[in-house]
Amino acid sequence: MIKEVKRSWWVIAVVAVLTALSGILVSQLEFNYDFEEFFPQNDPATSYFLDYRNSFESDFDYFIVVLENPTGVFDSTFLSRVDSLNNRLKKVDNIVEAVGPTQVMDVVQDPLFGGFFSSPWLNYQTPENYAADSTKIYQNGQWIGIFFSPDGKSIAINMKHTPGLAVKKCDQLYADINHVVVDEFGFKDAHLIGRAKGQQMYVELMVRELVMFIIISLICTIGFLYIAFRSAWGVIIPSIIVLLSILFTMAFMKIVGKEIDLMMTVLPTIIFVVGMSDSVHVLTKYMQEIRSGKERIAAIKYAFKSIRLATFLTAVTTAIGFLTLVFSNIKPISDFGVYTSIGVLLAYGLTYTILPAIIIVAHPKRLAEFAEREDFWNAKLHVALQWIFRNRKWVMGGTILLLVVSAFGIRQIVVDNLMLEDLKESHPLKQDFTFMEKRFAGCRPFELCVELKDDVDPFAPEILAQVDTLSIYLEKQYGVGAMFSLSEMVRSANRSLNAGMEEYRVIPQEDYEVNKIERFLKRKDMREITRLTFNQEQNRLRFAGRLSDVGRKYYEAKNVELAAFIGQHCPDLVEHHVTGTAFLMDLNNAYLVDNMVLDLLLSVSVIGLVMGVVYKNWRMIPLTIIPNLIPLIIVSGIMGFAGIPLKVSTSIIFNIAFGIAVDDTIHFLARVRTLLGEGRNKLYAVKRTFMTTGKAMIVTTLILSGGFSTLIFSEFLGTFYIGLLISMTLFIALLFELTITPIVVITFFKEKSKKSDK
């Protein structure tokens, strides 16, 4: 007794020191959201885009300020403020270019003297010319959707900022722009759109939700634990274990240099609810042994001894469910799998160290007193088991019917994603993006690169004609707004060289005219902007613009049509590559969804192999696997009927849910085998397991489902679906564990039960 007490104090002391050190490390953790981390890692498409970006420019280093005037933008007072704001924004740190509607210039060659002069398309200082200016702007159409909205009630100031800004500088940039627009100039209802703002709002939301999830999970868990154990110690001990698991995991993240990203915000909640399972099973078994008359230390020793294999297997299988995500070529998903599995294993380790130490040192009498009273679960579970055995045919028939119906639902699942799929429609950032899609050219970047052969001159009239054909197709058929290409540059240059007459905004046919335009575009003052559409060293053409964010599936079909169009109408432009930020984000979703089945099969195979090796019985493989595939099939069917698309957030839930759900099966089968090994008959083993382990299964599933369901309060749709679908899957899994598994055991454990009865 004294030996156990001293050892327990040593364990508590070591854990206390580690807790203090971990607290210091966690206080230094930083939050980060870098959308480029969601690009596919080590992928040719990513490598191509990075090289393409070096040839031209980044497609996402922009910032847009949209201002509305309900009576129309052609108002002298409003435009005067807009022009002053435009000039002030040019002075903001890291802004390299800022152009608004009052400063976009029309460059024209003087037909008499040959020189070039420029003037704004809209001169805000001469209201008497507003009618003529607006007519010219809207008839030309070049700047509609870029600087002017089609309804004439909104304008946009388009800015470019320093490429590759780090998170802190992005935060500062957004703060500076917001201060200038809102505080200095009083545009309270302005719409601010850009990567700098998006990253900051994501980080702020991640911080807020991380705290919210921990608090809500703690409250829910305390409630479930108290209902289960009716004891303060029954709440305190499991809570200490999971809180320490979270703390140690996050401290480890700091040690290896991992920041908290979007995926990591749900890590504490997942560890909180998943890590609770082993301690609940241990405490439940401990209370059973106390009830049977064992002394405290003997009871805790026997509890650990009797379920150590089951708890080890549940920790391993849950960790495997998360670890299969490590094969994702999307870094945040891969990291999420690694660190969550570490947290699960830490919770297991703490269950076998700090839990017995607390029981031995603290001697929680209230926990023992409750254990000695009659367990109110017994009567309810006994009635439930009787109903299951009496209606086993209906149970099996109903299961088969559900699977058939679910198969129809699975066929209706849509595989799709949006750029801002993570945000709910009510979020301000999502509303700003929606506004841009309705009033302007949208926010989804579009990038197309055409690789020309070395001997092909893009300024040859026949090549320019093909370039223009493709540019028009992209604008009219593909839906690209704010179109920017070499043909657009040539059209505008031809107009400028012909006294600004609109009828000359076309691709010229004669060589001498094209040569004159080429010389104009390669002038010192035009060279930089021309370089953004044509890279002479690599003989590459760029077609860029913005799109509405209507989903990957839509643009995949458009890309097929685009390839067919180029092959038929642009024979010299056939080597083309759709690329860019949006394309890569679509690609990573496609990869993740495509790999979902393989990852799940890997998880199922490894877990089945572990069960077969540990128990040295091949029957344990289907007995463990099949009952836990049923809820995944049913939830997939629900997704299909409910119209929930398959994407990043919804594809990873299957691996996670399977790794967690299989825990209850392991505990149930392990307990049955233990009782059979003690010479009990088959029926007694199932009944006893259902009464004891069944209670722990219900409690842990309530905790797990309740904990995961807290994620539905998230502003991130991805997090919302993780919470909704996993909690739903676990609850369905529990129902099948308590109905199908007893029937399966009674059916398939015949030979072993006969040997045990002798």
The model's pLDDT over 519-557, given as tens digits with 9 standing for 90+, comes to 988 888 888 889 999 998 899 999 999 998 888 888 999
What angle do the packed helices 653-677 and 750-757 form, to 10 degrees? Answer: 30
Residue type, 515: N
Rounded to 5°, angle at Cα 299 from 704 and 309: 55
pTM of the model: 0.76
Using CA atoms, how far apart are residues 568 and 593, in angstroms rounded to an integer?
A: 32
CA pair distance 663, 667, nearest whole angstrom? 6
Query: For the chain, first and last CA: distance in Å?
Result: 39
| pLDDT at 98 (0 to 100) | 95
Residue entry with tokens 């400028």: 496
pLDDT confidence of residue 756: 40
Q: What is the dihedral of CA 335, 336, 341, 342, to 10 degrees?
A: 60
Q: Chain-centre distance of CA 21, in angstroms?
A: 31
Number of Cβ atoms within 10 Å of the Cβ of 362: 14
Residues 64, 738: Cα–Cα separation, whole Å = 56
CA 363, CA 296: separation in Å to the nearest integer?
8
Separation between Cα atoms, residue 302 and residue 299, nearest integer Å: 5
Q: How far apart are CA 536 and CA 550, in angstroms?
A: 34
pLDDT score recorded for residue 180:
96
Residue 146 and residue 121 in contact, taking contact as beta carbons nearer than 8 Å: no
Q: Could you tell me which of 201, 205, 208, 265 has the C-alpha nearest to residue 429?
A: 201
b/e burial code for range 528-543 (CB count within 10 A of at least 16 → b) = eebbbbbbeebbbbbb
Distance CA 338, CA 320 (A): 10
Q: What is the pLDDT of residue 594?
A: 67
In degrees to the nearest 10, what's the CA dihedral of 216, 735, 729, 731? -10
Nearest partner of 666 among 627, 707, 708, judged by Cα: 627
Return the pLDDT at 365: 62
Q: What is the DSSP letter of 646?
A: B
Q: Tokens 């799109």 belong to which residue?
A: 547
Closest CA to 586 of 418, 751, 433: 418
The stretches of 578-681 forming alpha helices (DSSP H) are: 581-615, 620-642, 648-651, 653-677
Quick one: pLDDT at residue 377? 64
Q: Which residues of the chain have pLDDT under 50?
A: 372, 374, 751-758
Q: Output the six-digit token pair for 349.
A: 């380790």
